[in-house]
Structure 1
């Protein structure tokens, strides 16, 4: 392992939270051992959105979370953010950690980044967990939300946007304070770039190229995103879909226990011999979570 700058020591464990990746300074966290899972956050949020996954999944796997360039504690990007650039950053982080392959876990827009990474670098990933994700953003409601965020960011209302997003993802006051604090650390231009990517990105027609397994997790109450769940399930060659009860879009924080259990079961079915030996407890049997009625949604690939 080649250690970058800013090496800290905590007890007997070396903590190396920064690395030079692809021309920028990346802040990242690694916890646990076993099969690697790289978590990808959406615009404005940071790696802190996956605190629960970092804490509870690290007993079985190597959990890796990072701040996308221009977000949180990562350095500002001179280049305009694109999903292709972020996919390259992820591969650079894997190289830095000397990992040949990993699973991806993308939340919301982070799921689009995961899809682009698998399309560009199929040999680097075992598969992916996509949480409230989409291959395109074609419904007017969600597009108007993104345009509103872009407009507010243009008015330099970063703290307002950060507060709204942090509040929407918070399951308690402590979580809100953590998410808000890290969200306000982002660079205005880079965060805005990341928002804008979702307005033009569309990989729906390419989904058939992804041959690795994909776990799809959505909230029953996140009805606008059921269309995207249907598109992904119908186009991906190997997918498993669950709709989680009593929750909307913000699954990593508001349905963390169930999300973590489903991830454990899904990965252990594929890599049971690579999970960390220190936590070999039986994963509980879980039912398939489906909405009462899944309407047939006409697929569209127009943006």
Structure 2
């Protein structure tokens, strides 16, 4: 059973190193770097969710995979929703980890705006340090995430942040008929409102709060959920 994973801005497929090692024993795990991130080269066309979804379709076609489970972490969870809306015939279902269908609270808007402003040649090292540090549970993980993030192109990274800030598919969630698993950290209070929006609007979903986990921990500890 194939599962394709989607990372948030600046981070790369190395975000899912644990999932690749753990779940590949039972599933076909597919990870990739979004355009202008990690080992994927810079692209002149602006990075948007629809473009990422089409790249995912091309990737599945190349691998000769007709359907897969679509899994995304943070803003990658928004791309899961976009994929299920645009190409429902290519998915078995979705897994949203600390994800959202829109950005509506001031704190998250501020964080995304700060990331956008820091996405330039002078300040990207600082942004890279802060983002990778916040997503690492050990010094080894931090070094691995930071190495991958440093390979990205600042323009495409900024474009991904920009699209994430404006994206809103809340009014279309009722159209998604696939089963969707929603995973959130119990301590990630800021995102609980987004969990509730998805839980109330997706016709077929299961909401799970992971005990003692924050935003990034809910991605690291998915082995706790069966």
How far the C-alpha of 1:157 sits from its partner, in A, is 1.1
User: How far apart in 2 are the matches of 1:136 and 1:130?
Assistant: 13
Instruction: Give 3-state SS (helix, strand or coil) of 2:14's partner.
Output: helix
TM-score by length of 1: 0.73
How far the C-alpha of 1:247 sits from its partner, in A, is 1.4
Q: Is 1:121 aligned to residue 87 of structure 2?
A: yes
1:96-245 to structure 2, matched below 5 A, reads: 96-154=62-120, 156-245=122-211
User: How far apart in 2 are the matches of 1:134 and 1:156?
Assistant: 30
Q: Structure 2 unaligned segments of length 5 or more: list them.
A: none
Q: CA RMSD in A?
A: 1.0
Instruction: Give 3-state SS (helix, strand or coil) of 1:106's partner.
Output: strand
Q: Is 1:82 aligned to residue 45 of structure 2?
A: no
How far the C-alpha of 1:199 sits from its partner, in A, is 1.4
Q: Is 1:260 aligned to residue 226 of structure 2?
A: no
- 1:52-95 C-alpha deviation (Å, 9 max, x unpaired): 00000001000000000100001111100110000101111000
How far the C-alpha of 1:156 sits from its partner, in A, is 3.1
- 1:195-216 C-alpha deviation (Å, 9 max, x unpaired): 0111110000000110000000
Distance 1:138 1:146, change over 3 A: same
How far the C-alpha of 1:50 sits from its partner, in A, is 0.4
User: How far apart in 2 are the matches of 1:252 and 1:99?
Assistant: 28
**Bigger RCO of structures 1 and 2 (CA < 8 A, at least 6 apart):** 2
Please identify the structure whose Cα radius of gyration is greater: 1
Count of residues in Structure 1 that have an aligned counterpart in Structure 2: 226
- 1:224-246 C-alpha deviation (Å, 9 max, x unpaired): 10000000000001000011111
How far the C-alpha of 1:155 sits from its partner, in A, is 5.9
TM-score by length of 2: 0.98
User: How far apart in 2 are the matches of 1:190 and 1:196?
Assistant: 10
User: How far apart in 2 are the matches of 1:260 and 1:84?
Assistant: 30
From the two aligned structures, give the one with the greater helix fraction. Answer: 2
